[in-house]
Structure 1
Amino acid sequence: MALDKHSDTFSLQRRNQNGSTAPLTNWGFRNETDPLTDVLLGSPAHLFHRATSSLSRKHLREAPCNIQVAQAQHAELVSTYKHFNVNVHMLEPEPELTMQVYSRDSSVMTPYGAFITAMSQWWRRGENYAAIRAYEKLGIPIYDMVTAGTFEGGDFNVIEEGCVLIGCGDARTNEPGARQVAGWFEAEGWEVRLAFIDEYYVHIDLMVVPIAEKLTAVCLACTEPGIVEWLEAKGHEIIDVPFPQTMALGCNLMSLGNDKVIAPTSSTYLIDQLRARGFEVAAVETAEISKTGGGIHCMAQALRRGD
């Protein structure tokens, strides 16, 4: 019996090879700034501070992560989502998956289902399999799986409906992986922009993250001018996050929709700018957990957003 790729039933490849894949009925989202109803998080139960990037290596050398403090910070983050009535779904913790707390990287949710990425670092590759099991349990079909190269979810940045910015720093997401994913979404009729970034910045969501409709946090000091011009041509207002705060994951916020945002307490400039615009900002302390290599946006995979 042929699989019905138009249904929301779990399957391992829902993508229509020629494009025109039907959007899901119950899961997914049009953009990253509509009201968040469901989020996938990873547990820090087995968190281990590894040299995953230049920044995490620097912290490891100078002041390694206090795991118990990091776990407490993550618990506060979970409580914050629940405070805003977001349904929190957790990846099943596994002792071997020491970086699983960064749930954005092992998979990417789309309007058509989740796609499974291909992690660069050997100690993270098992997270992809855990993500498949999580989607099967939730009944969310897999759109497709990256096979051409490496790709991590922090490099898939939905700027607005039908428009994605894909980061390519080569060390984590490489060009073959980036172009494979780009091809999928171009076939679906999306506008796709590739951003070739220095591997020092790890993922594109270090420096560019949507906040609300036509409002985006960008670090102008490290973002290619062509990307900034592209955003501005689309009518996006840009809040320029200072470089030092960006490198402390200050751009790495999570939009909850309806002018509500979760941001790290260290991102004082961005928080002040958002509150001045009438946003409700939940400032969460994440400095200790972020020593291991990621921020609030990295630790969350939106599963469903409403109108």
Structure 2
Amino acid sequence: MDVTAAAHHGPGWRPRPGRQEDDLAPGGAWAPLRVSRDCDPLTDVALHLPPAALLTAGPPDALQHLERIDHDALRRDLDGLAGAYRALGVTVHELPAPAPPGGNPYRGANAVYARDLLWMTRAGAVIPRMASSVRAGEELQAHRLCARLGVPVARTIGADGLFEGADAAWLRPDLVAVGLGVRTNGAGARQVEDEARAQGARVLRLSVPPGVQHLLGVLQVLDADLLAARTSLLRPGEVRHLRDLGFTVLDVPESDEVRTRLAFNFVTVAPRAVLLPDGCPDTAALLARHGVECAARVPIPELAKGAGGPACATGILARTSQD
């Protein structure tokens, strides 16, 4: 054996420098898709239209839908959403089709709500472990998307952990909010915390109130120092803590727009710029008073039948860092 050969770590051996984050830089080993703050300009998203047969595979409640969803109408909603993103210069990717159902005949019926299926970081994707048996196995679609795009999987939530992507938000590059509720448990939050810590960020745990699916439903990032929150649903101490951290917390009051038209289910597309569900003029006016532009408005009548809006339907893949 030639111990001087590079294969045996001789003088020609070249150790790999840097960290995983460096590998996602343009020209690196992986696709440069990453997120370090949820108000940075949005560049890449994933959308998905489930097969028609899945939307009628069972009664709405068994599918976790509020009403029967029409496939053609859902396509119109998603085409409108995709068109709005493209008009804003955002690249739209398609989530892969669901795998054969196996033991879950409903698997993939809710993958239209792609926000839940991955949480992007500076070092790749965190793949969740979905909280309900109805959505079990959708994680495979996220894995396949990452493989197709060349996105590294930074972590896959496992063991007894439960975590869904809409329960985490990058408030700052060094601060992540994680919501604990029905969809994300303590074991899942600890795994997210481990990954955030490895990337130099700390985690702020917040409570997801009863009747709200995810943290996304009560807290959104609008700018480096500006958050939107349904403060009447959050614990007062948690709101105070966010303000103590230096954030201005814009109070979005409960209203018909918020409760039934999903006005809070908006997507931040750039600092102080959002994509908003159509038919929410009062919310748009409230945001405008705080310097937040409504960059696009999209109708979502069919998406709403599954208890989700544009933010739920948008898998966030990449934002351009403003640091």
Q: Judging changes above 3 Å, is the alpha-carbon distance between structure 1 residues 227 and 246 closer, same or farther for their aligned structure 2 residues? A: farther
The corresponding residue for 1:11 is: none
The corresponding residue for 1:250 is: 263
Q: Judging changes above 3 Å, is the alpha-carbon distance between structure 1 residues 66 and 241 closer, same or farther for their aligned structure 2 residues? A: farther
Q: Is the 8 A contact 1:21 1:188 kept in 2?
A: no
Counterpart pick for 1:165 among 157, 173, 177: 177
After superposing the two structures, state which structure 1 stretch, 111-120 or 41-50, moved more. 41-50
User: What CA distance in whole angstroms lies between the structure 2 residues aligned with 1:147 and 1:50?
Assistant: 29
User: What CA distance in whole angstroms lies between the structure 2 residues aligned with 1:287 and 1:266?
Assistant: 10
How far does the alpha carbon of each residue in 1:97-140 deviate from its partner, in whole angstroms, 9 at most, with x for none? Answer: 11111111121111110011001122312211111111111011
User: What CA distance in whole angstroms lies between the structure 2 residues aligned with 1:303 and 1:191?
Assistant: 21
Higher-Rg structure is 2
Q: Alignment partner of 1:99: what SS?
A: coil
The number of residue pairs the alignment matches comes to: 287
| 1:235-274 map, 5 Å | 235-244=246-255, 245-248=257-260, 249-274=262-287
Letter in 2 for 1:29: V
Q: Is the 8 A contact 1:251 1:267 kept in 2?
A: no
The corresponding residue for 1:209 is: 220
The corresponding residue for 2:103 is: none
The corresponding residue for 1:29 is: 35
TM-score of the superposition, structure 2-length normalised? 0.80
Q: Is the 8 A contact 1:28 1:113 kept in 2?
A: yes
How far does the alpha carbon of each residue in 1:150-198 deviate from its partner, in whole angstroms, 9 at most, with x for none? Answer: 11111011112221111111x2212211122123213433121111223
Q: Is the 8 A contact 1:32 1:158 kept in 2?
A: yes
Q: Are positions 1:69 and 2:69 aligned together?
A: no
User: What CA distance in whole angstroms lies between the structure 2 residues aligned with 1:285 and 1:234?
Assistant: 35
The corresponding residue for 2:299 is: 285
Letter in 1 for 2:87: H
User: What CA distance in whole angstroms lies between the structure 2 residues aligned with 1:39 and 1:116?
Assistant: 16
After superposing the two structures, state which structure 1 stretch, 264-273 or 154-163, moved more. 264-273
User: What CA distance in whole angstroms lies between the structure 1 residues aligned with 2:216 and 2:81?
Assistant: 19
The corresponding residue for 2:3 is: none
Q: Is the 8 A contact 1:168 1:195 kept in 2?
A: yes
Q: Are positions 1:151 and 2:163 aligned together?
A: yes
User: What CA distance in whole angstroms lies between the structure 2 residues aligned with 1:90 and 1:168?
Assistant: 29
The corresponding residue for 2:10 is: none
User: What CA distance in whole angstroms lies between the structure 1 residues aligned with 2:132 and 2:16?
Assistant: 32
Residue 44 of structure 1 and its aligned partner are, at CA, apart by 4.2
Q: Is the 8 A contact 2:123 2:199 kept in 1?
A: no
C-alpha RMSD of the superposition: 2.6
User: What CA distance in whole angstroms lies between the structure 2 residues aligned with 1:117 and 1:76?
Assistant: 27
User: What CA distance in whole angstroms lies between the structure 2 residues aligned with 1:271 and 1:125?
Assistant: 36
The corresponding residue for 1:12 is: none
Q: Is the 8 A contact 2:273 2:292 kept in 1?
A: no
After superposing the two structures, state which structure 1 stretch, 285-294 or 110-119, moved more. 285-294
Q: Alignment partner of 1:287: what SS?
A: coil
| 1:1-307 map, 5 Å | 22-23=21-22, 24-25=24-25, 26-46=32-52, 48=55, 50-51=60-61, 59-60=66-67, 64-94=68-98, 96-148=107-159, 149-169=161-181, 171-244=182-255, 245-248=257-260, 249-276=262-289, 277=291, 279-306=293-320, 307=322
* Residue segments in structure 1 that go unaligned for 5+ positions in a row: 8-19
Letter in 2 for 1:294: G
Q: Alignment partner of 2:93: what SS?
A: strand
Q: Judging changes above 3 Å, is the alpha-carbon distance between structure 1 residues 44 and 243 closer, same or farther for their aligned structure 2 residues? A: farther
User: What CA distance in whole angstroms lies between the structure 2 residues aligned with 1:242 and 1:52?
Assistant: 31
Q: Alignment partner of 2:114: what SS?
A: coil
Structure 1 residue runs of 4+, over 6 Å off? 4-7
User: What CA distance in whole angstroms lies between the structure 2 residues aligned with 1:242 and 1:265?
Assistant: 18
User: What CA distance in whole angstroms lies between the structure 2 residues aligned with 1:74 and 1:301?
Assistant: 12
How far does the alpha carbon of each residue in 1:45-77 deviate from its partner, in whole angstroms, 9 at most, with x for none? Answer: 446274379xx66x43xxx44443232112111
User: What CA distance in whole angstroms lies between the structure 2 residues aligned with 1:34 and 1:263?
Assistant: 17
TM-score of the superposition, structure 1-length normalised? 0.84
User: What CA distance in whole angstroms lies between the structure 1 residues aligned with 2:17 and 2:137?
Assistant: 29
Residue 264 of structure 1 and its aligned partner are, at CA, apart by 1.0
Q: Is the 8 A contact 1:115 1:146 kept in 2?
A: yes
Q: Is the 8 A contact 2:50 2:108 kept in 1?
A: no
User: What CA distance in whole angstroms lies between the structure 2 residues aligned with 1:79 and 1:36?
Assistant: 15
How far does the alpha carbon of each residue in 1:169-228 deviate from its partner, in whole angstroms, 9 at most, with x for none? Answer: 1x2212211122123213433121111223421101001011222222110111121221
Q: Alignment partner of 1:227: what SS?
A: helix
Letter in 2 for 1:299: A
Q: Alignment partner of 1:114: what SS?
A: strand
